[in-house]
Chains A and B, each alone.
Chain A
Amino acid sequence: MKILAIALIVLAAVAAIVGPQLFFVVDEKQQAIVTRFGDVQQSIRSPGLYVKTPFIDATTYFDRRLLSFDAPPESLLTKDKKRLIIDVYARGRIVDPVLFRETVQTESQGKARAVDIITSELRREIASDNQAEIITTKREDIMKRVQVLVQPKLREFGIDIIDVRIKRADFPPEIAESVYARMQSERKRKADKERAEGQEIDAEVRAAVDREASIIKATAQRQAEITRGEGEGEAIKIFAEAIAQDPEFYKFQRSLQAYRKIFEANSTVVLPADSDLFEFLQSEEGLN
C-alpha cells in the first residue's frame, strides 16, 4: 500500500520533471526541429508525440500553416514611366525547417527576407510592363511571373511560395488629381452627348411625326378629290342618261329653271313687245 503510494508519487515527480524533457508534442499547426548543441538531430514535419534526449536536446517549433508575407505599399515605376503605389502580399509555407533555421533563424527574419526578395522581383516586373496592362489585363500574369521568379530564391531559405498577389495598385495622390480632372472632362463629354442625343431623337421623332401627319392628310386629300370626282362623274352620267331621253325638252325645261334663279327681285329686264309672252297683250286677234 505504502509502496504503491510512494511509487505513484515518485512516478508523478519523475514524470513531471523528465516527461517534458523526454516527450514533446508537435501540434497539427506546427513543425519542429530537435537540436543538440546546435546540431540538428530531428526534423519533424508531421504532428504527434515524439521523444528526445532529455536536458541535452532542444526543440524549436515553426509554423506549418500557410503564412502571409505582407510587403508594405511601395511606389513603383512602370515601363511607360508612370508611378503606381503597389501593395503586394505572398502566401507560402516553411517546407524545410532545417534550412529555414540555418538561413534565417526566426519566422520574423524569414518574413523580412522573403518580402525583400518579392519586392525586388516585383519592381523589375512592374518596370517591364505598361501601367494600363498592370491595372487590367496583365495583373494575373505579372503575379504569376513574380511567383515563378521568387519561388526558387526562397526555396533556398526553406520557404515555398505558392502565390503572389497585387493587393492594391493605386495612383499616387498627385496623379490621382489629374485622373479626377480627366474623369470630370470625360463625364462632361458624356453628359453633353446624352443631351445632344436627346435633342437629336427629339428632332427626328418630330420630323417623322410631321411627315407622317402630312402624308396621312395628303393621302386623305387625294382620296377626297377622287371621291368628289366620282360623285360628280356619276352625277353627270345620271343627268346625261335622263337628258338623252329628250335633249330639246331638257334644254327648255332647264332654261326655265335657270331663269327662276337668274332673275332675282329688282332685276331689270327689257322685253320686246312682240315677244311671245305679249302675243295677246295688244290685240285679242293675236290669238289664233
Chain B
Amino acid sequence: MYRPEEPEVNFDQILERIRGFFGRFKIGGVRGGGGSSVWAIIVLALFGIGILVWVGSGFFTVQPGEEAALRRLGMFDNIQGPGLHWWWPTPIGARDIVKVDDIRRLEVGVRGGAPALDESLMITGDPDEAGQPGEAPNIVDVQLLVQYDIKNLQQFLYRAVDPDGQTIKDATETALRQVVGSRPIDDPLTDKKEETQADTKLLLQRLLDEYETGINVREVKLLNVFAPEQVKDAFDDVVRAKEDKARIINLADAYRESILPNARGEAARLTEAAEAYKQERVAYAEGQSQRFISILSEYELAPEVTRQRLYLEAMEEILPDIRKYIIDDDTGGGLIEFLDLTGDSQLPTSLGSRN
C-alpha cells in the first residue's frame, strides 16, 4: 500500500492530538499500525466536512416580495416569508423560491409588439333586427392585457401544469371570447369597455380558481379594440357620421341661440315703441287739454271779445301767405265770373296775383 515516509511522522503527531480529543470514540481501543489509520481519519474527516457542508447548504434567504415553498421528502411542508431560513437540503428537502409580489403580464392578440390576428379576431354576439342575440354576428379585433400575481404559492407550484403559461393563456382567451361573444360589437369597441373588462376578469378569475392555479388576476385591460381591416372604413364612416350629426346639432343650437335673442330684441323694440307711443299720445292729449283749459279759463272772462280776437289773430296768421279772391255779391259778382270758360285752367295766372 502507498505509504509516504516523511508526512507519516507528522500525521501521527497530529493524530495523537486528535485522538486526545476524540479519545472516547475509539472503537475497541484498536491500536493498529499508525499508518493504516490515517486514511480512516481522512475518510471520517471528509464525512464530517461533507455533513457540515450539506447542513450548511440548507441555509437560504428569502428576499422581500418572495416566498419559499418547502418540501420534505417530496411532501409540501410550509411556506416561508422574507428572511434567513434553514431547510433540509437535497435529497431530503427541496425549496422553491418565487417572486410572488411581482406583477406578471400576459398579452393576448399581440405577439412581440406585432398583432396576432389568429388570437385577436373574435366573433361578437350582435342581435338581429328582431333582437335575437348572435343572429347577426360581427368580427372584432381585440388586444388584451392581463396583469396578475400569485396569491397561493402552494397551488401555483404543485396543483396545475404550467399555471402562468398555457393555463392562464387558455383561460384568458376563453374568458375574453366568451364575454365578447355574448355582447354586441359596440360594447368592447366603444361604449361598454369597462363592463367587458370587468366580466372578462370575473370569468378569468373563476377559471383560474377552478384550475387551482393560485393566480390572482389584478387587472384585465382592453389594450386596443379595432374593427377588422376589411371593414375599417365602414366603421370609421359611422364615427364620421356621428360627428356630422353632432356638428349639425351644434349648428342648429347656434341658430337657436342667434334667432331667439333677435326675436326677443325685436319684441322688446315693438313693445317699447308702443309704450312710447302711448305715453306720447297721453302727453299730447294732456298738453292739448291743458292748453284748451287755459285758453278756456281766459275766454270765459270775456267770451265775445276774446272769441273775436282769437278769430282775427288766426286769420291774420293764415291769410297773408294765401291767394285770396274776395267776391262781393252786392256788386253783382259771382264765382262764375272767375271761371275761365276758354278752357285755360290757369285761373290764378289769368287773373293775376296779389303776391
| Residue positions of A touching B, CB distance < 8 A | 1-6, 8-9, 25-30, 46-49, 63, 65-68, 70, 89, 91, 131-137, 139-140, 162-163, 165-171, 176-177, 179-180, 182-184, 186-188, 190-192, 194-195, 197-199, 201-202, 205-206, 208-210, 212-214, 216-217, 219-221, 223-228, 230-232, 234-236, 238-239, 241-243, 245-246, 249-250, 252-254, 256, 259-260, 263-274, 276-278
Q: Which of A28, A188, A260, A265 contacts B158 (CB 8 A)?
A: A28
Interface string of B8-38 (1 = CB under 8 A from A): 0000000000000000011110101000110
B308 (CB) vs chain A CBs: closest residue: A276
Which residues from chain A contact B137 at a C-beta distance below 8 Å? 131-132, 135, 171, 179
Give the CA-CA distance A253 to B303 in the complex, in Å: 12
Interface residues of B in 139-196 (CB under 8 A from A): 139, 157-162, 166-167, 170-171, 173-174, 177-178, 181-182
Given A182-B136, A195-B245: A224 and B273 within 8 A (CB)?
A: yes
| Bound CA–CA A270/B325 (angstroms) | 4
Query: Judging by beta carbons under 8 Å apart, are A202 and B249 in contact?
Result: yes
CA distance A42 to B147 in the complex (A): 43
Per-residue contact bits, chain B 297-311, to A (CB 8 Å; 1 contact, 0 not): 001100100010011
Question: Number of B interface residues, CB 8 Å?
Answer: 129
Smallest CB-CB separation from A229: which chain B residue?
B278
CA distance in complex: A249, B234 (Å): 91
Report which B residues bind A (CB closer than 8 A): 25-28, 30, 32, 36-37, 39-41, 43-44, 47, 71, 73-76, 91, 121-123, 125, 132-139, 157-162, 166-167, 170-171, 173-174, 177-178, 181-182, 207, 210-212, 227-228, 230-231, 234-235, 237-238, 240-242, 244-249, 251-253, 255-256, 259-260, 262-264, 266-268, 270-271, 273-275, 277-282, 284-286, 288-290, 292-293, 295-296, 299-300, 303, 307, 310-312, 314-315, 317-319, 321-331, 335, 338, 348
A4-B25, A272-B326 given; name 9 further pairs at CB < 8 Å.
Answer: A28-B76, A136-B125, A180-B231, A194-B244, A205-B253, A260-B314, A267-B322, A271-B324, A271-B327
Residues of A contacting B278 with CB < 8 Å? 227-228, 230-232, 234
Decide: B133 and A137 in contact? CB cutoff 8 A: yes
- Is B27 a contact of A3 with CB atoms below 8 Å? yes
